[in-house]
Amino acid sequence: MNIRQHLDHLISQSLARISGIADCQALVAPAKSAQFGDYQANGVMGLAKRLGRNPRELGNEVLRDLDLGGIATKVELAGPGFINIFLAPEYLASELGKLGMGRLVAERASPQTVLIDYSSPNLAKEMHVGHLRGTIIGDAIARTFEYLGHRLIRHNHFGDWGTQFGMLITYMQDLPPDRALASELSDLETFYRAAKQRFDAEPAFADRARENVVRLQSGDPACLAQWRKFIDVSIAHCQELYERMDITLKPADIVPESFYNDRLAGIVDSLESQGLLTESEGALCVFLDEFKTREGEPLPVIVQKSGGGFLYATTDLAAIRYRAQELGAERILYVVDFRQSLHFQQVFAVARKAGFAGPQCSLEHLSYGTMMGKDGKPFKTRSGDTIKLIDLCEESVERAFALVSEKNPELDETARRHIADVVGIAAVKYADLSKNRNSDYIFDWDSMLSFDGNTAPYLLYAYARIRSIFRRADLDPDAQYPIAVTAPEERALALKLLQFSESVEQLAADCLPNQLCLYLYELAGTFMKFYEACPVLKAEGSERAARLGLCQLTARTLKQGLNLLGITTLEQM
RNA sequence: GCACUUGUAGCUCAGUUGGAUAGAGUAUCUGGCUACGAACUAGAGGGUCGCAGGUUCGAAUCCUGCCAAGUGCGCCA
């Protein structure tokens, strides 16, 4: 239990004792300003209202009743009825001491099976900046659930089964046999565009493409072999990028659309037998009252086309059934952009109605906003293309290399290259993670690749500074040092360190990585102020040891927090 | 037309179940390195929280209407 929960628990109990009402909410939150202490309880005013009592009077009763033991040096009633809590330095020190060299956040006592569906590129196209958010955000969330001890399953729902594959296979068939496929596919964008061009321009080509779709879906071995070749090259491309960006997705996490092919008919059968299916204009549909079309007519979820083909809603239903019933997922998270929110609402509603996901299984669409250009329109380059993800990374790494070469010219090139790799990728990831995923955001090279202020390099710099202290004094950074808290800057740092678990647990609850970014930025800032005010190596005796202890815990927390975000730390930069 | 999301400092963004004087970064201006790393730090200026009502002890946050932007709305994924 973290400090906030602990205080909330104690004060809620006190409120319950005084009022005789069982479900009292203490509403404990970190204090907004230092003058109000470290934590404040806001629940007295609401309760006073419920009881028809004077909030100050009630607050005073709480103060008389409340026993926080040695946790606080001062508990005061302020303003209209806030309870401000000032924690004791000895308590902070002892709580930090309990962490020792062990985990910074306790593992969940009752872990859940959590399945997260993210990244999910379309294999026909190379990954561009539009895929960035889902991949980075999903990876951070996945790492966090895993760290908390949940049974985490990653699913990369690759788009490998659409009608576009008929077109691509047909184009592939027409390539001169002496040209190596691998080199043709090295630029997937160009390949896709060339195929699309022929598809649009040549009716005969388009007809063959459609025939190939049918052959492919009916299991024609020749078509499947060609499709497989294409898929393999595409997967290799993606994997290369994941490794470059330190994304935890592995080939084994790929559970593509084609995986569900054999299960689609069963979905339709199940809906049919439950009486949920209606035929409309030749297509098999599920109608739900809560969804309407443009004309105000009931909006169907189409699960089988008039021609007999299945759609992506069918695939998603099959995926839900598989994940909930066969894999036993208790929470299924979809990190997919917000444009698909209606689709997921519909699919979730049908899945519930049909019993594909039971009431114990939570279905959550973690949507994120679009990347916009500086003109406020969806982002494109001047030529109308999107920026490839790999190019974005290279640009960031180059900028980082130029900067580290300027700051630390004495480092050899290998070291500078390594630092640039880490800093460049970290900056790109953090730029995305630090924004609330729900809102659209403006893409701008200079702010995305900025290395000043609230950026990944700031956090990495704080870490490198700490490691530098231990290196300079030739001290073991992994030994355990006693913790004590005296100076105000030490106190602020100690409190901040203890709040790491609050931040991580919050992330698991609402899946907003920007909250963890904010915490880490504040932690680094609190450390920087401590660093300015409290010399470590010049201090002596127990003061020096205590400061080393705070430094070490800060480094560990930064490293762990950055790791959850998918960012690697550096010993020097 | 309906639905979802968004509107906060010049710019980019935070703002946790409604809490006290709305915060960061950046840009601009002024200080701090013979110092445990200046990729840092101290300070200044900068706001009708889109607009108008409402709910209440208290609203950027909840409700209603309006304005603006983005997105989606039957056989693509």
Q: Which comes out higher in pLDDT, residue A217 or A281?
A: A281
Whether the pLDDT of residue A495 is over 70: the answer is yes
Give the pLDDT confidence score for residue A347 in this predicted structure.
Answer: 97
Give the pLDDT confidence score for residue A421 in this predicted structure.
Answer: 97
Give the pLDDT confidence score for residue A382 in this predicted structure.
Answer: 63
Whether the pLDDT of residue A314 is over 80: the answer is yes
Provide the 10 A C-beta neighbour count for residue A5: 13
Select from A227, A225, A263, A513 the least CA-distant residue to A366: A513
Q: Which residue is nearest to nucleotide B36 (CA to C1')?
A: A469
The whole-number Å distance from A374's CA to B61's C1' is 28
pLDDT band with cut points at 50, 70 and 90 for residue A177: low
- The conformation of residue A324, written as its DSSP 8-state character, comes to I
Q: Which of residues 312-371 of A touch strand B (CB under 7 A)?
A: 312, 315, 338-343, 369-370
- The conformation of residue A151, written as its DSSP 8-state character, comes to E
Whether the pLDDT of residue A183 is over 70: the answer is no
Whether the pLDDT of residue A205 is over 80: the answer is yes
Q: Residue A42 CB closer than 7 angstroms to strand B? A: yes
Give the pLDDT confidence score for residue A178 in this predicted structure.
Answer: 61
Whether the pLDDT of residue A355 is over 70: the answer is yes
pLDDT band with cut points at 50, 70 and 90 for residue A290: confident
Contact A158, A251 (CB under 8 A): no
Instruction: Give backbone dihedrals phi and psi of A123, rounded to 5 degrees, phi first.
Output: -65, -20
Q: Which whole number is the average pLDDT over A158-187?
A: 77
The C-alpha atoms of residue A510 and residue A504 are separated, in whole angstroms, by 10
Whether the pLDDT of residue A411 is over 80: the answer is yes
Whether the pLDDT of residue A568 is over 90: the answer is yes
Whether the pLDDT of residue A386 is over 80: the answer is no
Whether the pLDDT of residue A181 is over 80: the answer is no
Q: Which of residues 264-283 of A touch strand B (CB under 7 A)?
A: 280-283
The C-alpha atoms of residue A101 and residue A479 are separated, in whole angstroms, by 8
CA distances from A111 to A118, A216, A456 (A): 21, 41, 31
Whether the pLDDT of residue A245 is over 90: the answer is yes
Q: Which of A81-85, A194-198, A458-462 has the weakest average pLDDT? A: A194-198
pLDDT band with cut points at 50, 70 and 90 for residue A191: confident
Task: Give Dmax over CA atoms of chain A in angstroms.
Answer: 89
The percent of residues in chain A predicted with pLDDT above 90, rounded, is: 71
Region of A289 please: left (phi>0), alpha (psi -120 to 50) or beta: alpha
Give the pLDDT confidence score for residue A196 in this predicted structure.
Answer: 83
Highest-confidence range of A346-350, A372-376, A435-439, by mean pLDDT?
A346-350
Nearest nt by C1' to A305 Cα: B75
Whether the pLDDT of residue A182 is over 80: the answer is no
Whether the pLDDT of residue A233 is over 90: the answer is no
Whether the pLDDT of residue A483 is over 80: the answer is yes
Q: Which of A52-61, A84-93, A365-374 has the weakest average pLDDT? A: A365-374
Instruction: Please list the residues that pair with A284 across neighbouring strands.
Output: A279, A304
pLDDT band with cut points at 50, 70 and 90 for residue A530: very high
Whether the pLDDT of residue A200 is over 90: the answer is no
Q: Which whole number is the average pLDDT over A176-180?
A: 66
Whether the pLDDT of residue A489 is over 80: the answer is yes
Q: Which of residues 374-413 of A touch strand B (CB under 7 A)?
A: 374, 376-378, 400, 403-404, 407-408
pLDDT band with cut points at 50, 70 and 90 for residue A383: low
Whether the pLDDT of residue A432 is over 80: the answer is yes
Provide the 10 A C-beta neighbour count for residue A528: 16
Select from A364, A403, A375, A425 the least CA-distant residue to A132: A425
pLDDT digits (tens, 9 = 90+) for A445-479: 888 788 999 999 999 999 999 999 999 999 999 99
pLDDT band with cut points at 50, 70 and 90 for residue A22: confident
The C-alpha atoms of residue A170 and residue A199 are separated, in whole angstroms, by 9
Whether the pLDDT of residue A184 is over 90: the answer is no
Instruction: Please list the residues that pair with A76 across neighbouring strands.
Output: A84
Q: Which of A54-63, A304-313, A468-477, A483-492 has the weakest average pLDDT? A: A304-313
Q: Residue A170 CB closer than 7 angstroms to strand B? A: no
The residue type found at A521 is Y
Whether the pLDDT of residue A114 is over 80: the answer is yes
Contact A500, A556 (CB under 8 A): no
The whole-number Å distance from A210's CA to B45's C1' is 66
**ipTM here:** 0.96
Q: Which comes out higher in pLDDT, residue A561 or A35?
A: A561
Give the pLDDT confidence score for residue A132 in this predicted structure.
Answer: 86
Q: Which of A41-50, A132-141, A148-157, A385-394 has the weakest average pLDDT? A: A385-394
Question: Which class for A288: exposed (0-12), middle (13-18), buried (19 or more C-beta within 10 A)?
Answer: middle
Q: Which of A7-11, A215-219, A399-403 has the weakest average pLDDT? A: A215-219
Average pLDDT value for chain A: 91
Whether the pLDDT of residue A571 is over 90: the answer is yes
Whether the pLDDT of residue A123 is over 90: the answer is no
The whole-number Å distance from A8's CA to B63's C1' is 30
The C-alpha atoms of residue A28 and residue A180 are separated, in whole angstroms, by 65
Q: Which of residues 186-245 of A touch strand B (CB under 7 A)?
A: none
Nearest nt by C1' to A46 Cα: B57
Nearest nt by C1' to A539 Cα: B36
The whole-number Å distance from A544's CA to B3's C1' is 61
Whether the pLDDT of residue A384 is over 70: the answer is no
Q: Which of residues 409-468 of A touch strand B (CB under 7 A)?
A: 419, 423, 434-436, 438-442, 444, 447, 450-455, 457-458, 461, 464-465, 468
pLDDT band with cut points at 50, 70 and 90 for residue A555: very high
